[in-house]
Amino acid sequence: MRLTISAIGKAGKGPEAALTQKYFDRLPHQGKLMERDSSKPAGTARIEDEGDKILSSIPSDAKLVVLDERGKSLSSRALAELIKQWRDDGIRDAVFAIGGADGHSPEVIKKADIILAFGEQTWPHLLVRAMLAEQLYRAEMILIGHPYHHG
């Protein structure tokens, strides 16, 4: 299964981007980061523009996981089980969407198969990318029984 992070904003070449790529490189089926910029000023038009860019990057048969602070918190094992279920059901792509500073458009939220939170705290977007990439790697390691995950 291809695992993709579709994120608003550019990471540049900093340590967070390197850490994200490190975990993508370790995935059995290399992950992918798609970055999208918004050309609109802040406000509703910007959120809609960012939402359109995220939705246009998703294959038609993909599962969409939207990261949002109001979402459901899943353990690493539960995320692994969700990915396994989708994979076993023949789903080829899962896209994990990270919105811009103003969050996701209603259209993105509506299309989500699941809304996921990394707890109640707000995290910097670049760290969320790295944390998500690590969790995707961890999920794959859980599924193959690798000792990387010890909990």
Average pLDDT over residues 51-77: 94
pLDDT given for residue 42 in this prediction? 73
Cα–Cα distance for residue pair 17/126, rounded to 1 Å:
7
Average pLDDT of the chain, as a whole number: 90
Average pLDDT over residues 91-113: 94
Task: Tell me the domain boundaries of the chain.
Answer: 2-144
CA distance 19 to 47: 27
The rounded radius of gyration (Å) of the Cα atoms in the chain is 15
What are the CB-based long-range contacts (under 8 Å, 24+) for 56-61? 57/4, 57/6, 57/95, 58/6, 58/93, 58/95, 59/92, 59/93, 59/95, 61/91, 61/92, 61/93
| CATH class of the domain comprising 2-144 | alpha beta
pTM (whole model) above 0.95:
no
List pLDDT tens digits, range 14-60. Answer: 899 999 999 989 888 767 888 888 667 777 788 999 999 999 989 98
Distance, in Å, from the CA atom of 119 to the CA atom of 40, rounded to the nearest integer, reads 29
